């Protein structure tokens, strides 16, 4: 039996529909005092959209999205249009009690801290958007265009994206780490870092475990 303080799930590369369905199923099955879940998962080439968006309205913004009509899914979380297939994602489910007394923004700061550690361990100068005087905070229908306070900035560019949902029992957060060059945002490859998916999974779990023990000191 594992002595890990949380359940680690290593999911294979899947479609947007499968990935979002698994996120939802894990959250719906989570008990108030359940073991926290940290899931890592890859993507087939696809698109996800925010919970308040419709695919039709997104196509009006960018007609090329029509090509993804059979390869998109709606997230449980907010945010904008996000392209997948060149990235690795994490999904995290925590009991509400673990972030007791923290506002949504404060919990974002605590959780995304493990991502700062992940990028900094690669030798990158990663920091939050709110701390960058050259960044103007503003939302946008496209995830990689808008800037929220706890988005991660490297060399003046936003990398990946994160979003959160809360229920009475749990805090759910997921996010994307772009590995390879694409037309949609900056990736680690663009920043001169070459990581395969296996090593990325290992490094993300290492940074998360480090953060976990810091939270629970």
Three-state DSSP string of 104-169: HHHHHHHHHHHHHHHHHHCCCCEEEHHHCCCCCCECCCECCCCECCCCEEECCEEECEEEEEECCC
Considering the four listed CATH numbers 3.40.50.300, 3.40.50.1220, 3.30.930.10, 3.40.50.150, the one that applies to the domain covering 7-215 is: 3.30.930.10
Instruction: Indicate the pTM of the whole model.
Output: 0.94
Going by pLDDT thresholds of 50, 70 and 90, the confidence category of residue 2 is low
Q: Is the pLDDT of residue 191 over 90?
A: yes
Order of strands across the sheet that contains 72-74: 72-74, 46-49, 82-84
Per domain, the residue ranges of the chain are 7-215
Q: How long is the chain?
A: 217
User: What pairing do the DSSP bridges indicate for beta strands 37-42 and 7-10?
Assistant: parallel
In percent, the amount of the chain with pLDDT more than 70 equals 99
Kindly report, residue by residue over 91-138, the tens digit of the pLDDT.
999 999 988 888 888 999 999 999 999 999 999 999 999 999 999 999
Helix, strand, coil percentages, rounded to 5, for the chain: 35, 30, 40
From residue 57, give the alpha-carbon distance in Å to each of 54, 63, 80, 137, 214. 5, 10, 12, 23, 42
User: Which whole number is the average pLDDT over 195-206?
Assistant: 97
Instruction: Give the whole-angstrom CA distance, residue 26 versus residue 12.
Output: 16
**Is there a contact between 87 and 43 (Cβ–Cβ < 8 Å)?**
yes
Note the pLDDT tens digit of each residue in 49-82.
999 999 999 999 999 999 999 999 999 999 999 9
* Mean pLDDT of the chain, nearest integer: 94
β-pair type (82-84, 87-95): unpaired
Task: Tell me the mean pLDDT in the region 28-36.
Answer: 87
> Phi and psi at residue 131, in whole multiples of 5°?
-100, 5
Between CA 173 and CA 181, with CA 176 as vertex, the angle to 5 degrees is 175
Asked whether residue 38 carries a pLDDT value surpassing 80, the answer given is yes
Picking from 99, 134, 133, 95, the residue whose alpha carbon sits closest to that of residue 113 is: 99
Which pLDDT belongs to residue 1?
38
pLDDT for residue 215: 87
């Amino acid at each position: 039996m594992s002595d890990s303080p949380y359940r680690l799930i290593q999911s294979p590369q899947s479609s947007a529909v499968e990935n979002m369905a698994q996120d939802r199923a894990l959250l719906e099955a989570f008990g108030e005092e359940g073991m926290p879940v940290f899931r890592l998962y890859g993507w087939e080439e696809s698109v996800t959209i925010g919970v308040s968006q419709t695919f039709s309205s997104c196509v009006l913004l960018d007609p090329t999205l029509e090509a993804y009509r059979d390869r998109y899914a709606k997230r449980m979380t907010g945010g904008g249009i996000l392209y997948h297939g060149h990235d690795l994602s994490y999904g995290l489910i925590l009991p509400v009690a673990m972030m007791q007394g923290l506002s949504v923004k404060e919990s974002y700061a605590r959780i995304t801290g493990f991502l700062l550690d992940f990028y900094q361990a690669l030798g990158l100068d990663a920091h939050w958007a709110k701390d960058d005087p050259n960044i103007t905070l503003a939302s946008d229908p496209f995830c990689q265009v808008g800037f929220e306070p706890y988005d991660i900035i490297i060399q003046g560019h936003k990398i990946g994206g994160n979003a959160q949902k809360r229920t009475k029992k749990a805090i759910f957060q997921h996010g994307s780490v772009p590995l390879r060059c694409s037309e949609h945002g900056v990736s680690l490859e663009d920043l001169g870092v070459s990581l395969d998916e296996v090593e990325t999974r290992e490094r993300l779990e290492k940074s998360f475990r480090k953060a976990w023990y810091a939270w629970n000191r």
